[in-house]
Amino acid sequence: EYELEGSVTRANVYKNTAFETVDCEYYLTQCESNLYASQLNFLPLNVKSYMQREQISNQTHQTEAAVQDWFNKLMTQFSSRWDKITAKDTHDVGYLNGLMPDISIFKTEDVVEGAYIPLVVQTILELKVQKRHTGFFNEEKGQLIDYIRILVRQQPLRKLFAIFLSDGSYFYVMSFNRHTKEYQEYLTNLTEGLRLFYTLILRKSDFVRAIGVRSITFNFKHSHTRSRSINIRLEEFLGQGSSADVYRIKWNNRPAVIKIITDPDDSVTEREVGILKLLKNSNVQNIPEYVTHDSEKIIMYPVCKRINKKLFQAKHVRELLQILEKIHSIPIYHRDVRPSNIMLDTSTDSLILVDWGSAVHNPISEVTYEGTSTYASNNILNNDMGPYTPQPTDDLHSFVRTMYILINPLRQPKDLKSSVKIKDYWDHELNDRPLWKEMLTAADENNIE
C-alpha cells in the first residue's frame, strides 16, 4: 500500500520525478481513440454561458470553499453533455485510501447509493485557491502523484492515467503511462484546459477511462446439492499474487475480502479452504476467518491493511511467532512467510498472517516448492528450490528475513534471480549483525524462545 505523503514530502517527490513537458496534442493522440488536435471540442454553450455569467476572480474566490462551489456548478453544466458520466464533489469523502479529491469523475452506473470506489474512478480534478503567481506549488503537483500512484494500483489493467488541477485561472494536467513508467505534464489557461478536460471525457479517452472488472459472479452454496449464482460488486483492489487477485467487497453488509484464484489447477481453492478450516478448528488466532467459497473464489474476514514500519510493533512479532508455533504443532507449514503476507486488522491492532494457498498439512513425503524464493530458507535454497520435506525451520528462516525487511524497508531485495544470489544477499545482510545472526541460529534450532 502506498504511504500518503505530507506536503513537504510531496514537494520533494515532485522535484525528484522526471516529467516530459507536453502539449494539448499529446493527450489527443496518445490513445486508442486517436483524437487529433483539430478535434479539440469547443466548450458547450451552457458551459460558456455559466463562465461568462459567474466569472471566477481573485476578489471573489479566495477560499477553497468558494472555488469548490464554482467548479461544482460548472461540472453540473458539463455533466449534461457527457454520456452517462457524472462529476461528484468528494472533497470531504476519503474514498481514495483516505485521500479526498475535490471532484471525482465516474460512470453514472458506478455510483451506487452514494458509494465512491477507487476501482472505477475515471479521473480527478483537484482544486486550489487562486494565487498571485503563475502555476502551482510543487506540493500541489505532488498531491497528483499520490492520486496517480493509488489509481495505478487500484486499476491494474489500465495503461494511461491523467489527473487535473485548477485554481480558476490556470489548468494543469499530469499524466502517467504504466507501460513506459513515464510522467508528463501540461500547463495552460483555464479555458483551454477545460476544453481538453471536456473533450477527453466526452470522447472516452484512455487517459480518463477506468478499465477492469466491476463485479464478479459467485456460486453461493445453500447446501451440498443446491447453489445459486449471485453478482458481487468489487469495491477495492487490495493486491495481486502469482495465483490470485484480492478485492474488498461487502458480504452480509460487512466489509469482506474475496480472493479470486487464477491458478488453472482446480484443487488450489479446495486445498486453501481445507487449511483455513483446519486452522479454525485448531483455534489458531491471527488468521483470516473463512466465510464461504466456490470453485475459484474464497470469501474471508477481515479487511486488513498491509503492515509497514510505522505500524509494526513488538507485539506483532510475538503474534507472528505464536502463529508459527501453533501451526507447526498441528503440523501445518505456511511456506510463504514474507512482508506482503503480514497484514494488520486495524479494528483490533492485531497482526494477520494471510495467503495460505501454499500451506501444507502433515506432509508424509517430499513436496514441490511453493512460495517466494527471496524469503526461502537455506535448506530450500541449497536444494535449488527442488522437492523437499517442509520443516518448522523453513518458516522460521522466512520469519527472520521478513522481520528484517519490515524494520528496514529500504533494504528490500530486488532482482535476485538465482538461489546463489539470494543466499549471498542474506549472508551479507544478516551474518555480520549479531542480533540477526543469533535469530538465524535460533531458527536453525527451531528455538522460538
Residue 345 class from Cβ within 10 Å (0-12 exposed, 13-18 middle, 19+ buried)? middle
pTM, whole model, 2 decimals? Answer: 0.81
pLDDT over 60 (residue 270):
yes
Residues of the binding site for ATP: 259
Question: What is the Cα–Cα distance from 187 to 174, expressed in whole angstroms?
Answer: 9
Dump pLDDT digits (tens) for 281-319.
999 999 999 999 999 999 999 999 988 888 889 999 999
Q: What angle do CA 30, 33, 35 make, to 5 degrees?
A: 65
Residues of the binding site: 259
Task: Determine contact, residues 265/245, Cβ cutoff 8 Å.
Answer: no
Q: Which residues on adjacent β-strands are paired with residue 332?
A: 361
Residue 109 class from Cβ within 10 Å (0-12 exposed, 13-18 middle, 19+ buried)? exposed
Question: What is the Cα–Cα distance from 244 to 259, expressed in whole angstroms?
Answer: 6
pLDDT tier at 1 (50, 70, 90 boundaries)?
A: very low
Dump pLDDT digits (tens) for 338-375.
999 999 999 999 999 999 999 999 998 999 999 999 99
Return the pLDDT at 130.
82
Question: What is the Cα–Cα distance from 219 to 270, expressed in whole angstroms?
Answer: 14
Dump pLDDT digits (tens) for 131-158.
767 789 999 999 999 999 999 999 988 9
Dump pLDDT digits (tens) for 49-98.
999 998 886 555 578 888 999 999 999 999 999 989 999 999 999 999 89
Return the pLDDT at 369.
95
Q: What angle do CA 256, 361, 370 make, to 5 degrees?
A: 75
Return the pLDDT at 60.
53
pLDDT over 90 (residue 276):
yes
Question: What is the Cα–Cα distance from 279 to 285, expressed in whole angstroms?
Answer: 8
